[in-house]
Structure 1
């Protein structure tokens, strides 16, 4: 015979055993139902896992992204910054306790490290035979004289300037005359040197004027010229130096990321370098793009980035206040970069870039 109560009649808190049994049974049912509908750690966070996989594939296959409206170039210009999405997704995965999302993050982490992991450390070496500096001095620079003094104090043997205006040209020539007895200015670009120069000429890189450039008078073309080539005489032999300012890139409301002028200039510059007879070549300039951009494949196939070979970190140079991209480049062939670095800001919207090279 089943006992109905667990305490004497009249005792407070008395509980029926059949009630207790049914309550425990109902609790077990509720737990089973909740367990059936609550996903485990490998089923949680499917959106986070998908986002992690898409991020990894985006970085892995960036070269296959269409360049319609400049989309591919835009992605590649800021490709290193896509790594910032990894800690964001990781925080979400930990909050959701999603094992699948954490596992999916292995793809973007691996891809990012394979692309940029080599840039995290210091790759510089002591020594060097020649120090070169390149700087877009900015047409709107409010203090060109101060910029010239800062650049002269860098100790550079070669000083390449871009975006020189007719109004500021005299300022740079006077301020740099003592430290650099040799110089040439071709249009808006110039080179100041401690060593003799010869064979100087402008280089047609078909910038903003495109095919119409050839129809302009020679004086007008030179005034707006944005590239030069010269030979620097060194104790070790001749060194071909190019100073370049490629066309601007713009984000247009209807046209997307406009790179036509820059891309045309990059192809013309790659063609000129390919035809260069000297084995030792240095290219300094504002290329308005990073070396990850597909537009520079012709250049990177023939030249080596001093920053990638001998820099410390990414070496971002633009904008000066908070650099987010390396668009000012020093590229070499036939010489070895020993060290590459970014100089402190001047009055320009770019930071100067420098490299020490040896034979």
Structure 2
């Protein structure tokens, strides 16, 4: 008697043999997707400065958050390890290497002995409920020069009174101000916006004059249309024009830039000037928000002087942390024009 085997009676082993190529194909596709994601991460890390901006200025946002790309690596590593994909697991070496290449130098202490001048910059928050306490905290830093942003008509006189004994020389206009233990001259507003959010003064030190700029660039927002950094970038370009015309060989630029020095939107400011944090800091020096700092948007840039130390100060009643730097007013040892300043 002849028995006919119907398709439904196909042995399980044969059905499994047919399914294996399909599963292998799916695993291969998943590995390729993971590898593509890892490669994209490497491109963002290693080549972010040369990439075109994305719609809605999202490129600027990505560069501001660039250090946090480290969190993407374990997220991408998990499926590679769970799937036991040798290709994707091996590809993890690339983003790890790229991240370390970009940021490993940031994590070490680069401070050096010496320094003639200590400067502090602080966005004090216009709604600060304790200007007196904030002023006392800044005085305790021992800074020679203090730059403040986000002053208001109500709080500016309070800072003026609280800082008067420690800083006999000062100038403020609009929302920015400068207090100094050294004499100030040629103080004036710098027009980067319709109202005053930047100023310039010469500080006369025993080592010679230093041009000091204080700036508060326009705020940025993340919304449905993207990253609204156009106003900030325009103000940064205007400020950079004044800096290029500056005749003093020694220049300090202090303020709230509302962006990282990795952000290409701030390149007009960072080209030819060195970030004190990048040159002499220890770590990323995040400043905002004060309770859980995630980004460094408060900056100290130098030209013609050498930063020997950079750090953040303890929190005040503001939503920003103050930033400080120690500078040597001798011959500059900063990066050449166009060098990456870091942040």
Match for 1:177 among 138, 144, 164?
164
Q: Which runs of 5+ in 2 are unaligned?
A: 1-10, 330-343
Per-residue CA distance 1:114-163 (angstroms, 9 max, x = gap): 22221011111122111000000000111111111111111100000001
Out of 189-198 and 56-65, give the one that drifted further: 56-65
Change (3 A) 1:31 1:264: closer
How far apart, CA to CA, are the structure 2 residues paired with 1:32 and 1:68? 48
1:243-282 paired onto structure 2 within 5 Å = 243-253=214-224, 255-282=225-252
2:27 corresponds to 1:56? no
Out of 67-76 and 163-172, give the one that drifted further: 67-76
Deviation at 1:350, TM superposition (A): 0.5
How far apart, CA to CA, are the structure 1 residues paired with 2:51 and 2:293? 27
Provide TM-score, normalisation by structure 1.
0.83
Moved over 2 A (4+): 26-40, 42-50, 57-63, 65-68
- Secondary structure, in 3 states, of the residue corresponding to 2:294? coil
Tell me the residue number matched to 2:81.
Answer: 94
How far apart, CA to CA, are the structure 1 residues paired with 2:16 and 2:124? 70
Tell me the residue number matched to 2:202.
Answer: 231
Deviation at 1:55, TM superposition (A): 1.8
Q: How large is the RMSD of aligned CA atoms in angstroms?
A: 2.1
Structure with the greater alpha carbon radius of gyration: 1
- Secondary structure, in 3 states, of the residue corresponding to 2:155? helix
How far apart, CA to CA, are the structure 1 residues paired with 2:226 and 2:32? 32
Deviation at 1:105, TM superposition (A): 1.8
Change (3 A) 1:32 1:285: same
Tell me the residue number matched to 1:285.
Answer: 255
1:53–1:105 contact (8 Å) kept in structure 2: no
Deviation at 1:27, TM superposition (A): 9.8
Tell me the residue number matched to 2:33.
Answer: 47
1:136–1:286 contact (8 Å) kept in structure 2: yes
- Secondary structure, in 3 states, of the residue corresponding to 1:133? strand
Deviation at 1:200, TM superposition (A): 0.5
2:170 corresponds to 1:167? no
Aligned length: 317
- Secondary structure, in 3 states, of the residue corresponding to 1:122? coil
2:213 corresponds to 1:242? yes
Match for 2:288 among 303, 315, 318?
318
